[in-house]
Amino acid sequence: MTTIAGQRRRLALSRFWTQFRHDRAGMTGLIILGIFILTAILAPILISPDALDVTQAEGDRFDPPSLAYPLGTDESGRSILLLLAWGTRISLTVGLAATIISMVIGTAVGIMAGHFRGVGSHALVGVTDWFLVIPFLPLAIVLATVLGPSTLNLIIVIGITSWAGTARLIRAQTMSIEGRPYIERSRALGAGNWHQMTRHVLPNVFPLVLANTTLTVAIVILSETTLSFLGLGDPLAPSWGAILDRAFSTGAVSQGAWWYVLPPGICVVLVVLAFTLVGRAMERIVDPRGSTA
Amino acid sequence: MSLLQEVAVGEPDPIRTPRVSGSTLRVVVSKVVRAIITLAFVVVFNFFLFRMLPGDPIGLYTRGRNQDAEQIAQLRRDLNKPLWEQFITYISNPFDPGIDSTRFSRPVWELIGERIWPTILLLGTAIVLASIIGIWLGIRAGWKPGGRFDKVSTGTTLTLYSMPEFWLGMMLLIVFGVGAFGIPGFFPVGGISTPGVDTSSPAGWLNVLWHLVLPCTTLLLIYLADYALVMRASLIDERKQEYLMLARAKGLRDAMVRKKHAVPNALLPTITLIFLSLGFVVTGAITVETVYSWPGLGLLTYEALRGPDIPLLQAVFLVFSIAVVGANLIAELLYIVIDPRVRQ
């Protein structure tokens, strides 16, 4: 049984890749992402941690771009290019970790809310709706303040404030899958709830989960940038948002130090745009209804 | 979280396929009740979250502040009351919980009353302008999807959509406020008016307007991206409908088909989504007001979290929730008014 299913899945995957390869926007996004992921992985090899040490910085305060410092220096004379490369690592890590939390909660809640009937299901839908309607940033600020600033807490806060959209999507998909005859067949053969949800519903909603994941990563990275800018992340971990926070609080704006502000923002835009492009391309393939977007 | 995601995911949208039974009145009442329940949960959440933490709450309330012994003793008396008693005090009037803002040493409702008007001015202007321009862009792009205008406008809006709004604010501030790249700093670098200017005189209004330009442009650009993408998607959806073929078969010109038939129907979901987007709008307000030191609720939130000023933070969270839940309710009720199909 596994071989037939496995073969079918491998075939579906190769068909997916053929379609994706012809999507120009999606491929552009994928290439941009590849470059950033490479930077994130290679950052510790290419850069010695000394470059980030405030006490060992050799540049001047707010130096404009030059040959020695292609993107200029920050308020303590560190190279902004090196800060950015290191920041890629932190921003992407936080983004991916928070997305995993968000997807796991969203998929679990969505499948359960779609599978079960009765009070429990209503409660899950109610909680989902509550998280959907409550404004994200104020809620995240309140949670982050209570937990205290650290990278781990930032991941947790973003994870538990961003799963609701996924849950609603997965619930709708689960309900449409549950109406299919093979679910009825498996139920007639005595399959329990757990077996139905993990063996029949999950594989079917999974392509949608993946497409939704890439869109979620984009939003999560924006959220990370915003929360770090507000000082809710680890002050010692220079994510892109934290770099912007330092630029803002050390007066780079009033000094006109555009080289300190421009690059982190461009990185955020590129990564978010890349994830959005890949996600929308995947969605066009996985879910034909989304073809208008 | 955002409009784009909500439209893009292609799920059966509750707005497009309304399943409403019973009389209009019953629908309205049930929606109002749901909004109230949502807010009730915010109040309960707000109260218990800050009391769930282990350790001495005094530390959390006074972290990083200088407070005299008398203030701390008073705070401890308040916090030593039984939990249910504190809860009753809190829910009887969440805006006047008896504990003042620790940062400003003033009642929280007083601060909110002062700061709410600049926010309404800033957000109101930005939303109105963004919806007009965004809808116009969306119509032009969505009527000929894949055309040159669509490619440029969708590319631009997607890029704007991917920007952290405070970053755009900082860049505009550097270029047009401080001056960079040969552009002289033309606009004020922050605040709502020049100190000493009487804001009740016509000259004072102009001064406020002058300060409004940059923060408003920042928010405008971010919001219009969202609105344009939604309007475009909704118009493209509408183009597939059969009544448009009928309108064309009647011999109507393309512009007429667009103006009289497609756009009014495509506007329906867009207008409701503009109301639904308030949660997303609030995010922009907090960071952009911080960048421009615009003295509204957003800057107040930033000041509260830098403390952190727990009583103030609780109150601001509640205000934002009320605004967003209220806007959602308006969106749902508006839909009943403008779409007769929902009423049946």
What was the ipTM of the complex prediction?
0.80
Residue B163 and residue A258: Cβ atoms within 8 Å? no
Q: Domains in chain A and their CATH numbers?
A: 28-44+78-291 (1.10.3720.10)
Residue B308: cis peptide before it, omega within 30 degrees of 0? yes
Amino acid A105: pLDDT: 92
Q: Cβ–Cβ contacts within 10 Å for residue A63, how many? A: 18
Confidence of residue B7 (pLDDT cuts 50, 70, 90): very low
Phi-psi category of residue B2: left, alpha or beta, with phi > 0 → left and psi -120 to 50 → alpha: beta
Contact assessment for residue A170 and residue A208, using Cβ atoms and an 8 Å cutoff: yes
Residue A138 and residue B49: Cβ atoms within 8 Å? no
What is the H or E stretch that residue B184 is in?
A: strand B183-184
Domain boundaries along the sequence of chain B: 13-52+93-343
Q: What percent of chain B has pLDDT over 70?
A: 75
Mean pLDDT (chain B) is: 76
Q: Which residues contact A163 (CB under 8 A, 6 or more apart)?
A: A101, A102, A103, A105, A106, A109, A131
Amino acid A97: pLDDT: 92
Domain at B13-52+93-343: CATH code: 1.10.3720.10
Write the residue in B49, B164, B286 that is nearest to A268 by C-beta. B164
Alpha carbon distance A103, A202 (integer Å): 13
A129 contacts on B by Cβ (under 8 Å) = 38
Amino acid A289: pLDDT: 54
Question: Which range scores top for mean pLDDT: A35-44, A58-67, B253-262, B333-342?
Answer: A35-44
Alpha carbon distance A102, A162 (integer Å): 6
Residue B291 and residue A253: Cβ atoms within 8 Å? yes
Local confidence pLDDT in tens for the 293 residues of chain A: 557 777 877 887 888 788 888 888 888 889 988 988 888 888 777 777 666 666 666 666 666 776 666 667 676 667 777 778 888 888 888 888 999 999 999 999 988 888 888 888 888 888 888 888 888 888 888 888 888 778 888 899 999 888 888 888 888 888 888 878 888 888 888 878 888 887 778 888 887 787 778 878 888 988 888 988 888 888 777 888 888 888 888 877 777 677 788 888 888 899 988 888 888 888 777 765 544 43
pLDDT digits (tens, 9 = 90+) for B8-61: 344 444 444 444 455 777 878 888 888 888 888 888 887 777 776 655 566 666
CA distance B79 to chain A (A): 17
Identify from A24, A33, A130, A146 which residue to disrupt to test chain B contact, counting B C-beta atoms within 10 A and taking the largest count.
A146
Burial environment of residue A127 by CB neighbours within 10 A (0 to 12, 13 to 18, 19 or more) = middle
Q: Which residues contact B156 (CB under 8 A, 6 or more apart)?
A: B225
A36 contacts on B by Cβ (under 8 Å) = none
pLDDT digits (tens, 9 = 90+) for A77-106: 677 777 788 888 888 888 889 999 999 999
Amino acid A19: pLDDT: 81
Selected residue with higher pLDDT from A116 and B279: A116
